[in-house]
Structure 1
């Protein structure tokens, strides 16, 4: 009876916390660690390469996602991996004072990446199995917003805190405190989800032997590539975030770099406030409004608008690199504009994967395949971004980012829809009840 009662809890009580807990580890590894290592004397090239490489689990998570269709409940995996993430962040904190801190901390963050990617798989499984197609569209904005509130916590909260503590405790001990704090937040969210998270439904196909396990794994893989238009979808998903992959890793380093080096010369605290706080608030607002916009108009009708909203605002970084303004309000306004458009457009990709790629027998595993492909499209340019930035300089680099947006527009223009979008599905469901 308790299980059924928890299932009926309003999504507003678990969607925000579940996706916040997905977003926080990802943003910490993808971006916050760049500031930490920069302050600890690591080169931009090493930072960009290694903090991109450890993101591989988010790309390869489809390889183990079918296991979550075979055993336990989705909730079990969500909560378990949230506690693994919490403990590992604490271990990262202990590694920072050591002589070979970079190697130890990067290795531990690889474990965080694996547990974080596993949390993503199971959380998406709960979302896809508990909510109807209509509810998925209604909550997609809140899902994206909550995921990126992790950015607000990571940048606006923890990076700002690190900047304050660096002056009092020194760089190493400041970031130790921050890593302990992140671990504590993850542990608290895990405790909350023990009570509040729905189970996500029973296993799709229970297995009792190794042979059955491999059979199910093969079935998941084959049915994914048998989907109509799947190769169009793969190309679209990879190209949607292609330009972002170049920009997202270098932007905070550009903000931190000295003016004489082509950067903006901001302090850690200023980056936390401008880039992390106001930028993330703008992202959250854009995500929520984007979700309502899609729910009202239908994804197919507004896809090009969403792609433009996501990619065109990268011009802000090119302008900042060209003029290197000193006025914090000008810089902040540029970041707010870029992040609002980023958030508004980002939810379109997430809903596209839910409505066009995930439908079928293995919703959770196939959505994991799609999101893994999405992260591959993000990771490859992200790994190369440090090399390009060092070779071109910030000004030319961000002009290149604008050129890299072109494939996303082409992919969005040509991509077919094999399933009804949220508006068409709602009309079909309404018609069936009349």
Structure 2
């Protein structure tokens, strides 16, 4: 049976496929941080290794061209969703082993490779199946559901972990959470077998390894030959640079005791804050941003989006200085930051899609851009644990505010290659 009719409406697949893109990334980046903290691993070790295993999201440009040469983009989306689901199940089983940290980190690295490959193919489907007008129209849906995975993971799953810990113990609780992630990914893979557009056939016919390497070289050279590419690389790295520091340390700060400079929250409390205050603010920000950009154009709105993305990080030094125990104050701070995150993030995504990626190899070139973006998050993430140990949470978050300044400068100056309609 043809799925053409089913795939005409992007609402049937854009939300689910971008949720599937976001879940592994967020579990590796944030949920695993809380899991290891609860299981007695040090802050510096957690921040370093959970950042390092994100490397595939930086290196994915170097295998993304191969995904344009074989099968369809849909094939790779479904395959990686199923692989990710199975490996999450193996992570769950590893948590009772004596050297659980080594085994589970290695398995999470496999998920990172699968997840990064999934991202390349998913963005390829999005750009191939939708017109430029629809790309802008659904960018809010894309951003909202990608980051809704963040809310489900850091809100719902973390809350559920807190609920389980008091009943079945730390290791068993997190084993159930990892198994749940695996089940979600497997169900999404089955759903997308039917509902996802193909995203087009292979761009290039390759008959030998030499042809493949020649095509890879051509794709790589054409990316770095793009107009203003040096500007674009600097912009992509710096836009989220401060977030790279914040991403790993905020969950550790929320969970750390008041005596150690944190807020002393439990997993259940962290889950409530992210899953209620954060969720509502984030979804609202993402949807509003899509229509805000569509109404005014990206060029006129990009600096505003950068400000809305970066300025809310100011809530964390305030929380670290005053260490409030008020649910309303902490929830409002998290909501403010998440609204800004949801609103500002879509600007960077759309810039990469419409100013960096266009051309014959748009899927591979978007992968180059998003890989560079991940490098801008990964590098500060790897340093963040050592810096926060050295500076303390309060001074660390003040340093984060200083780290936002380059983003404002580069966004104000960034040139556009393509006309912004």
Q: CA offset at residue 225 of structure 1?
A: 0.8
1:358 corresponds to: 357
Partner Cα distance (2:65, 2:300) in 1? 33
**Counterparts of 1:6-155 in structure 2 under 5 Å?**
6=6, 8-155=7-154
Q: CA offset at residue 280 of structure 1?
A: 2.9
Contact 1:9 / 1:196 at 8 angstroms: preserved in 2? no
Q: What whole-Å deviation, never above 9, does each CA across 1:214-235 have from its counterpart, x for those lacking one?
A: 1110110011011111110000
Q: CA offset at residue 155 of structure 1?
A: 1.4
2:186 corresponds to: 187
Structure 1 residue runs of 5 or longer lacking an equivalent are 425-434
Q: CA offset at residue 277 of structure 1?
A: 3.7
Partner Cα distance (2:151, 2:241) in 1? 23
Q: CA offset at residue 248 of structure 1?
A: 1.0
Q: What whole-Å deviation, never above 9, does each CA across 1:120-174 have from its counterpart, x for those lacking one?
A: 0000000011111110000001100000111122111111110000010000000
Partner Cα distance (1:380, 1:391) in 2? 17
Q: CA offset at residue 335 of structure 1?
A: 0.4
Give the secondary structure class of the aligned counterpart of 1:163: helix
Partner Cα distance (2:180, 2:276) in 1? 18
Contact 1:152 / 1:281 at 8 angstroms: preserved in 2? no
Q: What whole-Å deviation, never above 9, does each CA across 1:177-201 have from its counterpart, x for those lacking one?
A: 1111010000000000000000001
Q: What whole-Å deviation, never above 9, does each CA across 1:251-289 have from its counterpart, x for those lacking one?
A: 010000000000000011000110344213311210110
1:410 corresponds to: 409
1:429 corresponds to: none
1:228 corresponds to: 227
Do residues 314 (structure 1) and 313 (structure 2) align? yes
2:2 corresponds to: 2
Contact 1:355 / 1:420 at 8 angstroms: preserved in 2? no
Contact 2:273 / 2:331 at 8 angstroms: preserved in 1? yes
User: What is the number of residues matched between the two proteins?
Assistant: 421
Note the aligned Cα RMSD (angstroms).
0.9
2:271 corresponds to: 272
Contact 1:148 / 1:280 at 8 angstroms: preserved in 2? no
Partner Cα distance (1:80, 1:227) in 2? 32
Partner Cα distance (2:317, 2:155) in 1? 23
Partner Cα distance (1:177, 1:221) in 2? 42
Q: What whole-Å deviation, never above 9, does each CA across 1:9-37 have from its counterpart, x for those lacking one?
A: 20001000000000000000000001100
Contact 2:278 / 2:334 at 8 angstroms: preserved in 1? yes
1:214 corresponds to: 213
Partner Cα distance (2:366, 2:282) in 1? 23
**Counterparts of 1:415-426 in structure 2 under 5 Å?**
415-421=414-420, 424=421
Partner Cα distance (1:308, 1:124) in 2? 26
Partner Cα distance (2:28, 2:229) in 1? 30
Contact 1:274 / 1:332 at 8 angstroms: preserved in 2? yes
Partner Cα distance (1:158, 1:108) in 2? 19
1:329 corresponds to: 328
1:301 corresponds to: 300
Give the secondary structure class of the aligned counterpart of 2:206: coil
Partner Cα distance (1:21, 1:411) in 2? 31
1:430 corresponds to: none
Q: CA offset at residue 420 of structure 1?
A: 1.7
Partner Cα distance (1:30, 1:214) in 2? 32
Q: CA offset at residue 211 of structure 1?
A: 1.4
Partner Cα distance (1:296, 1:394) in 2? 40
Partner Cα distance (2:227, 2:415) in 1? 10
Partner Cα distance (1:276, 1:114) in 2? 27
Q: What whole-Å deviation, never above 9, does each CA across 1:56-83 have from its counterpart, x for those lacking one?
A: 0011100100001100000000000000
Contact 1:257 / 1:263 at 8 angstroms: preserved in 2? yes
Tell me the TM-score normalised to structure 1 length.
0.96
1:387 corresponds to: 386
1:341 corresponds to: 340
Partner Cα distance (1:259, 1:58) in 2? 35
1:428 corresponds to: none
Contact 1:69 / 1:206 at 8 angstroms: preserved in 2? no
Contact 1:49 / 1:386 at 8 angstroms: preserved in 2? yes
2:204 corresponds to: 205
